[in-house]
Structure formats: C-alpha cells, structure tokens
Amino acid sequence: MSEKLRVPVEELRNGELVLSQQASRYVTRVHRLGVGDQLLAFDPVQGVEADAVILGVHQHSTTIDVTSARTSLDTAMPVVLVQALAKSTKPEFVVREATALGARGIVLVVSGRTDYPHRRDKTERFKRVAVEAARQCGRGRLPDLLGPLPLAEYVAESRRAGIVLCPRASERIATVVERDTARPLHVFVGPEGGFTDDERATLIDSGAHPARLGPLTLRTETAAVAALGALRALLG
C-alpha cells in the first residue's frame, strides 16, 4: 500500500476544514485525488498531524474531514544553523536542505562579505520553502526560522556555544562535538570567502570553536549541508 499524500494544513484540528487554494490545487490537480480519497494532513507550525478524507472538491477549494489529530514525531536534532546569506538562490537551497536534515533552527545572517539584498520580506519565501521540504521529507514541525539580521546583532544577544566552520582549523568537527556537549549546538557558516577575521574572532569570543569538515574548501551552501549531515550521524 502506498503512503498517504502529506498535505500542509494551517491550524489543523479535528472536524471539517477547507484546504487553501494552493493545497487544494496540489491535491486535486497535481495528484488528481477526489472525494473519498485519504490524506495525511499536517500542521508544520503546531507540530500536529491527522488522518483526513476528502469530502468535496470545488473549483477553487477542497473540503476534508479531519480525524485523530495528534502530535507529530519530533525528528529535529539539537542543532541551530547560523548561515550567512549568499547570492542567488543559495539561501533557499540551504533552508530546504537544513529542514530536511533536521536542524532545530535556521538563522540567516548578514555578514561583512554578504553579497545579498537585505530584504526582510524574503522571510515568507523562506517559510514556504521550509514547508515544502517538511512535506517531502516527512518532518512534522518546521525549524525555527529567524532573520535575515546582522550577524553582530544575533551574536550579541547571548553567548552561542557551538562551531564556526573554518577549513584551516586544527580540530575536526567530530572532535569538537564529542568534547563540547552544550545544546543546542550552533553551527556558523560564512558566506563565499568566509567570515572576516574580526567576525571569526567575535564568534570565538562568544563561545564558538573553529572546526573543519575535511581537507577541501567547500562552497557556503555545500559546507552547510555537509556539516548538518555529519552532525546528523554524530548525534544520531
């Protein structure tokens, strides 16, 4: 038996609900489901999922009957990715992959070498990317999304125990994780060209430890994915 189609539903609860126009189009036009077909509805903000059956299909909406609402399985690991913004669609890529890999939080920051238009209205775009990633990978709750905001502003809030990726660091990421058990673990990934010397010094002063992934110099978005993949294995 194939798995039920997972559909994001805001403010999910038991009873009759009307899907959003986007969700309705996804269910009835993309997957061609109709009255009587079953779904797995999930609310990625509340961390709730439920069984559902389609009651009616209309021109711009779909009505479903929701039963057995329950808390979704929490698949997040105690890791917060702090990613310096990069150009083009790299931020969206990082949000998508970090959601799928189970980061508990994603903080997008502007650093001295950031080459990206600082637009706060991108936040909703990042959330939509995260919702789609959660739907595809089976994650029940979105990571906490924060930013874009200046790196200095985020670091100044409090000390951030964790790791700052640096290809020339003397220690490997596994060594730092095994030694330092503070959670959540913050992983700082710089933009193309890396953090400036002053930024790196500030991060280290705030409690982050320099660590390397390996002998290769990676692109910023590749480094973020590689670090989260390594931490997923190290932390179980």
| Whether residue 181 sits in one domain with residue 86 | yes
Q: Is 161 in contact with 186 (CB distance < 8 Å)?
A: yes
| Whether residue 88 sits in one domain with residue 58 | no
pLDDT tens, 8-49? 999 999 999 999 998 999 999 999 999 999 999 999 999 999
Mean pLDDT of the region 130-157: 91
Mean pLDDT of the region 159-176: 87
Q: Which domain holds residue 12?
A: 5-71
Cα distance from N-terminal residue to C-terminal residue, the chain? 29
Q: Which two tokens stand for residue 229?
A: 């993949």
- Please give the tally of structural domains in the chain: 2
Output phi, psi for 4, to 5 deg.
-70, 145
Mean pLDDT of the region 164-171: 90
Indicate which CATH number applies to the domain containing 55.
2.40.240.20
Q: Which residues pair with 109 in a beta bridge?
A: 84, 149
pLDDT band at residue 81, thresholds of 50, 70 and 90? very high
Look-up of token digits 């080459």: 115
The verdict on pTM exceeding 0.85 is yes
| Whether residue 110 sits in one domain with residue 154 | yes
As a whole number, the mean pLDDT across the chain is 90
| Whether residue 87 sits in one domain with residue 51 | no
Residue where a domain terminates, one of 71, 100, 118: 71
Indicate which CATH number applies to the domain containing 81.
3.40.1280.10
Residue where a domain terminates, one of 26, 56, 71: 71
| Whether residue 143 sits in one domain with residue 62 | no
3-state secondary structure string across the chain: CCCCEEEECCCCCCEEEECCHHHHHHHHHHCCCCCCCEEEEEECCCCEEEEEEEEEECCCCEEEEEEEEEECCCCCEEEEEEEECCCCCHHHHHHHHHHHHCEEEEEEEECCCCCCCCCCCHHHHHHHHHHHHHHHHCCCCCCEEEEEEEHHHHHHHCCCCEEEECCCCCCEHHHHHHHCCCCCEEEEECCCCCCCHHHHHHHHHCCEEEEECCCCCCCHHHHHHHHHHHHHHHHC
| pLDDT at residue number 158 | 66
Residue where a domain terminates, one of 24, 43, 71: 71
162-165 and 77-84 strand pairing: unpaired
